[in-house]
Structure 1
Amino acid sequence: MDNKVWAAVRALFVAVLVISVATLGVAALIGGNWVVWLRGAAVAVAAAWLVALAGQAARGKRSAYVRIRFVTIAAPIGIVLILVAPDSGYPGWMKAEQAVVGVLVAAVALLVNRRAVRQAFPKRGKLG
Protein backbone atom coordinates (compact mmCIF):
# COMPACT_ATOMS: atom_id res chain seq x y z
CA MET A 1 0.00 0.00 0.00
CA ASP A 2 1.26 3.43 -0.93
CA ASN A 3 1.79 5.35 2.32
CA LYS A 4 1.62 8.63 0.38
CA VAL A 5 -2.14 8.09 0.14
CA TRP A 6 -2.47 7.67 3.89
CA ALA A 7 -0.22 10.66 4.58
CA ALA A 8 -2.53 12.77 2.40
CA VAL A 9 -5.63 11.33 4.08
CA ARG A 10 -4.19 12.05 7.51
CA ALA A 11 -3.27 15.61 6.48
CA LEU A 12 -6.79 16.26 5.20
CA PHE A 13 -8.33 14.93 8.42
CA VAL A 14 -5.92 17.03 10.51
CA ALA A 15 -7.02 20.07 8.46
CA VAL A 16 -10.65 19.25 9.28
CA LEU A 17 -9.72 18.97 12.96
CA VAL A 18 -7.90 22.32 12.95
CA ILE A 19 -10.78 24.04 11.16
CA SER A 20 -13.30 22.52 13.58
CA VAL A 21 -11.37 23.64 16.64
CA ALA A 22 -11.02 27.10 15.10
CA THR A 23 -14.79 27.11 14.58
CA LEU A 24 -15.30 26.51 18.28
CA GLY A 25 -12.93 29.40 18.95
CA VAL A 26 -14.95 31.67 16.68
CA ALA A 27 -18.15 30.57 18.41
CA ALA A 28 -16.57 31.46 21.76
CA LEU A 29 -15.56 34.91 20.50
CA ILE A 30 -18.69 35.96 18.65
CA GLY A 31 -21.21 33.72 20.30
CA GLY A 32 -22.95 30.76 18.87
CA ASN A 33 -26.24 29.04 19.42
CA TRP A 34 -26.51 25.46 20.59
CA VAL A 35 -26.51 24.19 16.99
CA VAL A 36 -23.12 25.79 16.35
CA TRP A 37 -21.62 24.36 19.54
CA LEU A 38 -23.06 20.89 18.99
CA ARG A 39 -22.03 20.65 15.35
CA GLY A 40 -18.62 22.19 15.97
CA ALA A 41 -17.84 19.82 18.84
CA ALA A 42 -19.17 16.77 16.99
CA VAL A 43 -17.11 17.51 13.89
CA ALA A 44 -13.97 18.13 15.98
CA VAL A 45 -14.40 14.81 17.82
CA ALA A 46 -15.15 12.99 14.57
CA ALA A 47 -12.07 14.51 12.93
CA ALA A 48 -9.84 13.36 15.79
CA TRP A 49 -11.32 9.87 15.46
CA LEU A 50 -10.73 9.92 11.69
CA VAL A 51 -7.09 10.93 12.18
CA ALA A 52 -6.69 7.87 14.41
CA LEU A 53 -8.50 5.66 11.90
CA ALA A 54 -6.21 6.90 9.11
CA GLY A 55 -3.24 5.68 11.12
CA GLN A 56 -4.85 2.28 11.61
CA ALA A 57 -5.74 2.02 7.93
CA ALA A 58 -2.18 2.94 6.98
CA ARG A 59 -1.08 -0.06 9.03
CA GLY A 60 -3.47 -2.27 7.05
CA LYS A 61 -6.48 -2.48 9.34
CA ARG A 62 -9.43 -3.16 7.04
CA SER A 63 -12.14 -2.14 9.54
CA ALA A 64 -10.57 1.32 9.84
CA TYR A 65 -10.49 1.62 6.06
CA VAL A 66 -14.15 0.59 5.75
CA ARG A 67 -15.18 3.16 8.39
CA ILE A 68 -13.25 5.89 6.58
CA ARG A 69 -14.92 4.99 3.28
CA PHE A 70 -18.38 5.09 4.86
CA VAL A 71 -17.86 8.38 6.69
CA THR A 72 -16.26 10.14 3.74
CA ILE A 73 -19.20 9.26 1.52
CA ALA A 74 -21.96 9.98 4.06
CA ALA A 75 -20.57 13.18 5.61
CA PRO A 76 -20.51 15.31 2.45
CA ILE A 77 -24.11 14.34 1.78
CA GLY A 78 -25.09 15.52 5.27
CA ILE A 79 -23.12 18.72 4.81
CA VAL A 80 -24.90 19.48 1.54
CA LEU A 81 -28.22 19.09 3.37
CA ILE A 82 -27.04 21.60 5.99
CA LEU A 83 -25.97 24.03 3.28
CA VAL A 84 -29.24 23.94 1.39
CA ALA A 85 -31.57 23.93 4.41
CA PRO A 86 -33.22 27.35 4.53
CA ASP A 87 -33.60 27.53 8.31
CA SER A 88 -31.14 25.07 9.79
CA GLY A 89 -30.00 27.32 12.62
CA TYR A 90 -26.47 27.49 11.22
CA PRO A 91 -25.15 31.01 10.64
CA GLY A 92 -23.64 31.81 7.25
CA TRP A 93 -20.08 31.72 8.55
CA MET A 94 -20.58 28.18 9.82
CA LYS A 95 -22.18 27.08 6.58
CA ALA A 96 -19.05 28.34 4.82
CA GLU A 97 -16.88 26.42 7.29
CA GLN A 98 -18.93 23.28 6.71
CA ALA A 99 -18.57 23.70 2.94
CA VAL A 100 -14.78 23.71 3.36
CA VAL A 101 -14.97 20.64 5.62
CA GLY A 102 -17.18 18.93 3.05
CA VAL A 103 -14.67 19.56 0.27
CA LEU A 104 -11.82 18.19 2.40
CA VAL A 105 -13.78 15.07 3.35
CA ALA A 106 -14.89 14.55 -0.27
CA ALA A 107 -11.22 14.73 -1.29
CA VAL A 108 -10.52 11.89 1.14
CA ALA A 109 -13.40 9.92 -0.39
CA LEU A 110 -11.80 10.29 -3.81
CA LEU A 111 -8.45 9.07 -2.48
CA VAL A 112 -9.69 6.05 -0.52
CA ASN A 113 -12.11 4.86 -3.18
CA ARG A 114 -9.47 4.54 -5.88
CA ARG A 115 -9.07 1.02 -7.24
CA ALA A 116 -5.51 0.55 -5.93
CA VAL A 117 -6.56 1.51 -2.41
CA ARG A 118 -9.65 -0.70 -2.46
CA GLN A 119 -7.55 -3.63 -3.68
CA ALA A 120 -5.15 -3.18 -0.78
CA PHE A 121 -8.04 -3.99 1.59
CA PRO A 122 -9.65 -7.16 0.17
CA LYS A 123 -12.74 -8.59 1.76
CA ARG A 124 -12.07 -11.48 4.07
CA GLY A 125 -11.69 -14.69 2.16
CA LYS A 126 -10.55 -12.89 -1.00
CA LEU A 127 -6.90 -12.55 -1.80
CA GLY A 128 -7.03 -10.35 -4.84
Structure 2
Amino acid sequence: MDNNPWSAVRALFLAVLVLSIATLAVAAVVGGTWVVWLRGGAVAVAAAWLVALAGQAARGRRPAYVRIRFVSLAAPVGVVIILLAPDSGYPGWMKAEQAVVGVLVAAVAFLVNRRSVREAFPKRGKLS
Protein backbone atom coordinates (compact mmCIF):
# COMPACT_ATOMS: atom_id res chain seq x y z
CA MET A 1 0.00 0.00 0.00
CA ASP A 2 1.22 3.50 -0.80
CA ASN A 3 2.81 5.29 2.15
CA ASN A 4 1.84 8.69 0.76
CA PRO A 5 -1.95 8.95 1.10
CA TRP A 6 -2.24 12.69 0.64
CA SER A 7 -3.67 12.82 -2.88
CA ALA A 8 -6.40 10.38 -1.81
CA VAL A 9 -7.01 12.33 1.42
CA ARG A 10 -7.28 15.57 -0.53
CA ALA A 11 -9.71 13.97 -3.01
CA LEU A 12 -11.87 12.66 -0.16
CA PHE A 13 -12.00 16.09 1.49
CA LEU A 14 -12.80 17.69 -1.88
CA ALA A 15 -15.68 15.22 -2.25
CA VAL A 16 -16.95 16.30 1.19
CA LEU A 17 -16.68 19.94 0.12
CA VAL A 18 -18.59 19.38 -3.13
CA LEU A 19 -21.24 17.35 -1.34
CA SER A 20 -21.64 20.05 1.32
CA ILE A 21 -22.04 22.78 -1.28
CA ALA A 22 -24.63 20.62 -3.06
CA THR A 23 -26.42 20.22 0.27
CA LEU A 24 -26.61 23.98 0.67
CA ALA A 25 -28.01 24.22 -2.86
CA VAL A 26 -30.69 21.65 -2.01
CA ALA A 27 -31.49 23.56 1.18
CA ALA A 28 -31.95 26.72 -0.89
CA VAL A 29 -34.41 24.94 -3.17
CA VAL A 30 -36.41 23.02 -0.56
CA GLY A 31 -36.21 25.61 2.20
CA GLY A 32 -33.84 24.21 4.77
CA THR A 33 -34.17 25.02 8.47
CA TRP A 34 -31.53 26.91 10.42
CA VAL A 35 -30.12 23.55 11.58
CA VAL A 36 -29.61 22.47 7.98
CA TRP A 37 -27.95 25.77 7.05
CA LEU A 38 -25.72 25.76 10.13
CA ARG A 39 -24.55 22.16 9.70
CA GLY A 40 -24.22 22.42 5.92
CA GLY A 41 -22.24 25.65 6.14
CA ALA A 42 -20.01 24.40 8.94
CA VAL A 43 -19.20 21.18 7.10
CA ALA A 44 -18.42 23.10 3.88
CA VAL A 45 -16.07 25.49 5.70
CA ALA A 46 -14.43 22.61 7.58
CA ALA A 47 -13.96 20.66 4.34
CA ALA A 48 -12.26 23.62 2.67
CA TRP A 49 -9.96 23.95 5.70
CA LEU A 50 -9.21 20.20 5.61
CA VAL A 51 -8.32 20.35 1.91
CA ALA A 52 -5.76 23.04 2.79
CA LEU A 53 -4.48 20.98 5.73
CA ALA A 54 -4.04 17.96 3.47
CA GLY A 55 -1.74 20.03 1.28
CA GLN A 56 0.27 21.08 4.32
CA ALA A 57 0.49 17.51 5.61
CA ALA A 58 1.66 16.37 2.17
CA ARG A 59 4.53 18.83 2.59
CA GLY A 60 5.43 17.22 5.92
CA ARG A 61 3.81 19.61 8.42
CA ARG A 62 3.09 17.56 11.53
CA PRO A 63 0.51 20.00 13.02
CA ALA A 64 -1.60 19.63 9.87
CA TYR A 65 -1.35 15.85 10.09
CA VAL A 66 -2.35 15.84 13.76
CA ARG A 67 -5.40 18.01 13.04
CA ILE A 68 -6.48 15.78 10.16
CA ARG A 69 -6.01 12.71 12.30
CA PHE A 70 -8.14 14.16 15.11
CA VAL A 71 -10.93 15.39 12.83
CA SER A 72 -11.01 12.14 10.87
CA LEU A 73 -11.61 10.20 14.09
CA ALA A 74 -14.03 12.64 15.76
CA ALA A 75 -16.23 13.65 12.81
CA PRO A 76 -17.67 10.19 12.09
CA VAL A 77 -18.71 9.97 15.75
CA GLY A 78 -20.60 13.25 15.37
CA VAL A 79 -22.25 11.96 12.22
CA VAL A 80 -23.40 8.80 13.99
CA ILE A 81 -24.96 10.93 16.74
CA ILE A 82 -26.84 12.95 14.12
CA LEU A 83 -28.03 9.79 12.40
CA LEU A 84 -29.23 8.15 15.62
CA ALA A 85 -30.81 11.20 17.27
CA PRO A 86 -34.58 10.74 17.07
CA ASP A 87 -35.44 14.44 16.77
CA SER A 88 -32.26 16.18 15.67
CA GLY A 89 -34.01 18.61 13.32
CA TYR A 90 -32.22 17.18 10.29
CA PRO A 91 -34.44 16.02 7.43
CA GLY A 92 -33.92 12.52 6.05
CA TRP A 93 -32.17 13.77 2.93
CA MET A 94 -29.58 15.57 5.05
CA LYS A 95 -29.07 12.56 7.30
CA ALA A 96 -28.33 10.57 4.14
CA GLU A 97 -25.85 13.24 3.02
CA GLN A 98 -24.20 13.21 6.43
CA ALA A 99 -23.91 9.41 6.29
CA VAL A 100 -21.95 9.77 3.04
CA VAL A 101 -19.78 12.48 4.63
CA GLY A 102 -19.15 10.16 7.57
CA VAL A 103 -18.04 7.35 5.27
CA LEU A 104 -15.71 9.68 3.34
CA VAL A 105 -14.11 11.01 6.52
CA ALA A 106 -13.83 7.50 7.99
CA ALA A 107 -11.90 6.56 4.83
CA VAL A 108 -9.52 9.44 5.61
CA ALA A 109 -9.14 8.08 9.16
CA PHE A 110 -8.21 4.69 7.74
CA LEU A 111 -5.58 6.23 5.46
CA VAL A 112 -3.93 8.60 7.93
CA ASN A 113 -3.86 6.26 10.92
CA ARG A 114 -1.83 3.53 9.25
CA ARG A 115 1.46 2.83 10.97
CA SER A 116 3.54 3.90 7.96
CA VAL A 117 1.83 7.29 7.87
CA ARG A 118 2.09 7.82 11.64
CA GLU A 119 5.79 7.00 11.45
CA ALA A 120 6.27 9.62 8.75
CA PHE A 121 5.20 12.27 11.31
CA PRO A 122 7.24 11.49 14.45
CA LYS A 123 6.78 13.44 17.64
CA ARG A 124 9.54 15.89 18.48
CA GLY A 125 12.52 14.18 20.02
CA LYS A 126 11.74 10.89 18.27
CA LEU A 127 13.54 11.60 15.00
CA SER A 128 15.82 8.81 13.85
What TM bracket, shorter-length normalisation?
over 0.9
Aligned residues: 127
Structure 1 distance, partners of 2:37, 2:74, is 21
1:101 alignment partner in structure 2 = 101
SS in 1 for 2:127: coil
Gaps of 5+ in 1: none
Amino acid at match of 1:87: D
1:23 alignment partner in structure 2 = 23
1:9-61 CA-to-partner distances (Å, cap 9, x unmatched) read: 00000000000000000000111000000000000000000000000000000
Gaps of 5+ in 2: none
1:112 alignment partner in structure 2 = 112
Amino acid at match of 1:10: R
TM-score for the superposition, normalised by structure 2: 0.97
Structure 2 distance, partners of 1:108, 1:2, is 13
Structure 2 distance, partners of 1:50, 1:32, is 25
SS in 2 for 1:87: coil
2:14 alignment partner in structure 1 = 14
1:49 alignment partner in structure 2 = 49
Structure 1 distance, partners of 2:109, 2:3, is 16
1:126 alignment partner in structure 2 = 126
Identity of counterpart residues, as a percentage?
Answer: 81
1:32 alignment partner in structure 2 = 32
Structure 2 distance, partners of 1:75, 1:40, is 14
Structure 2 distance, partners of 1:2, 1:41, is 33
**Structure 1 residue 127 displacement after superposition:** 1.4
SS in 1 for 2:124: coil
Structure 2 distance, partners of 1:69, 1:92, is 29
Runs of 4+ in 1 over 2 A off after TM superposition: none
Amino acid at match of 2:127: L
C-alpha RMSD of matched pairs (Å): 1.0
